[in-house]
Structure 1
Amino acid sequence: MAATTKMDRSNRIKQVFTEGQRPAFGFWQLFPGTNVSRALAGSGIDWVMVDCEHGNIDDAAMHEAVPVIAASGASPIVRLPGIESWMVKRALDTGAHGILIPLIRTVDEVKSVVAAAKFPPEGQRGFGSPFAAQGFEAGVSSVDYLQQANGNLLTMVQIETQEALDAVEEIAPLVDVLFVGPFDLGNNIGHPILGKMDPELEEAIARILKATVAAGKKCGIFCDTGEQAKRYAEMGFHMINVAVDYTALRATLAKSLAVARG
């Protein structure tokens, strides 16, 4: 299906979702810096997660990362530190193509996040950022952004608590993407990842995917290797992280050092 609006044409991850031919693959950014953003986004990846929860990325670094990622051809997605409405607004006002909210627990929390991410009459988001349109193609005006944002920007929540897992069938219809955080999910349901995944965690992940597909939405998952990403792609996940800048850098350096030492 062809993109129909200026914002649609600029939103790479949404294009991949609409085409439905393959998963949208991404990288995770923990380091601040526009050169880091540019390197990740320019690799041919579909999206980059600007991690303001666990990454070393503050508000100013987020504002710098988002437009660079978008200009490099990938979709910038911002993971917030929490669920507060002002955080949602700050992230979207940078020009981000979507937001990811961690540690969701209740249906009411999800509804409040959706309201914060949508302009009236669908939500309560305030309008006025001069930066919001910069994440999209040239010529997207403030009016275009106001008219197209509700239908174009992606609201994503992480299912990584027992409470959210218990309510996953109710949560799925409310958002665009359910994103599995396997480490926190494992910890919260009593089956932490200690070198392997327990069957109970695998079953929980399968339940999240099933609920998402049943609701006609997209399901994402965090992986930190290409091998893991390939496995979950074959399972039918729609949005998959492939690598993290910090761990990929360490692994590459360690490998090169090992070769040098013989």
Structure 2
Amino acid sequence: MSTMQQANRLKQAFMTKKPAFGLWQMLPGSNISRALARTPGIDWVMVDCEHGNIDDAAMHEAVPAIAAVGVSPIVRIPDFQPWMVKRALDTGAHGILVPLIRTVQEVKTLVSACKFPPEGTRGFGSPFAMHTFSPTPSMTTYLQSANSSLLTMVQIETREALERVAEIAPLVDVVLVGPFDLGNNIGQPILDGVMSQELKDAVESVRVAAERAGVVSGIFCTGPEMAKSCADAGWGMISVATDLTALMGTMEERVAVARGEGKLGAKGGY
């Protein structure tokens, strides 16, 4: 095992076969990145450049801030575009997550974009990428080790991807369910936090496909109770909370207590 593989905390967590818990960053700022990464018990932070308020510059700040705490920075890119893959990996991200995948060919193109030649088509030249690993590899070592050290993840959240998940799963390291978009795309939207049985079955089929392919199943959870349930069910990569939602929930809760209108307690939700 290479030193870079050992320095990828999430990759190491997957090898234990235990759930790898993480947090979702949607607000920009390296202080937020560090605060999330310092949370005890997590292995990764998702830097959300799809729905989060995180642009290219903020992504470049978030990734090293997370890595400096010893947690794996993962970047969700806005769309499946090879140049976005390159930008994310060039920050030093330990892996990328690609939303709204539909076809097997898209996944093959994605994997190629993530790998240096001869395995893929990724361009080489970032002066930043190696500095999120400890000990810091040379550029030559990064070039030689990145293909086997970085994680490629796709979201199963379209009908097309769901129908092809058995073919998609063996091509990547993680298949992660986006329950909200998946529900919308199969005509079973999550309304008032309630999932239909058809959507629950679809979500479970992704976990089973990942297990059969020998890769990791991941899921976006709306709170700690759902995260615990998914851990018990055998999911391997589990989000626990989102920064903005947690901030809003905590402030609302504390103001309610101050006004004599509520009490402190765990609160989650998307």
2:100 to 78, 100, 103: 103
Three-state SS of the structure 2 residue aligned to 1:241 is strand
1:192 to 172, 189, 194: 189
Measure the CA separation in 1 of the matches of 2:211 and 2:144: 28
Q: Is 1:116 paired with 2:142? A: no
Aligned to 1:239: 237
Aligned to 1:259: 257
Aligned to 2:31: 35
Measure the CA separation in 1 of the matches of 2:2 and 2:170: 24
Measure the CA separation in 2 of the matches of 1:18 and 1:144: 22
Equivalent residue letter for 1:151: S
Identity %: 64
How do 1:121-140 and structure 2 match up within 5 A? 121-140=118-137
Equivalent residue letter for 2:227: A
How do 1:159-170 and structure 2 match up within 5 A? 159-170=156-167
1:136-159, CA deviations, whole angstroms, 9 ceiling, x for partnerless residues? 013311111111110010000000
Structure 2: gaps (5+ residues): 261-270
Three-state SS of the structure 2 residue aligned to 1:25 is strand
Three-state SS of the structure 2 residue aligned to 1:128 is coil
Equivalent residue letter for 2:251: L
1:16-71, CA deviations, whole angstroms, 9 ceiling, x for partnerless residues? 10121x21000000000000000000112110000000000000000010001000
1:26 to 18, 22, 26: 22
Task: Give every structure 1 segment of 4 or more consecutive aligned residues whose post-TM-superposition deviation is greater than 4 Å.
Answer: none
Aligned to 1:75: 72
Measure the CA separation in 1 of the matches of 2:155 and 2:118: 25
Measure the CA separation in 1 of the matches of 2:16 and 2:161: 29
Aligned to 1:155: 152
Aligned to 2:224: 226
Measure the CA separation in 1 of the matches of 2:70 and 2:253: 30
TM-score by length of 2: 0.94
Shift of 1:135: 1.1
Aligned to 2:4: 7
Measure the CA separation in 2 of the matches of 1:138 and 1:63: 20
Measure the CA separation in 1 of the matches of 2:14 and 2:136: 24
Shift of 1:231: 0.5
Equivalent residue letter for 1:17: F
TM-score by length of 1: 0.97
Shift of 1:9: 2.2
Aligned to 2:171: 174
Measure the CA separation in 2 of the matches of 1:9 and 1:239: 18
Equivalent residue letter for 1:103: L
Structure 1: gaps (5+ residues): none
Shift of 1:121: 1.1
2:214 to 209, 212, 216: 216
Measure the CA separation in 2 of the matches of 1:223 and 1:139: 33
Q: Is 1:51 paired with 2:48? A: yes
Three-state SS of the structure 2 residue aligned to 1:40 is helix
Three-state SS of the structure 2 residue aligned to 1:156 is strand
Give RMSD over aligned pairs.
0.7
Shift of 1:6: 1.7
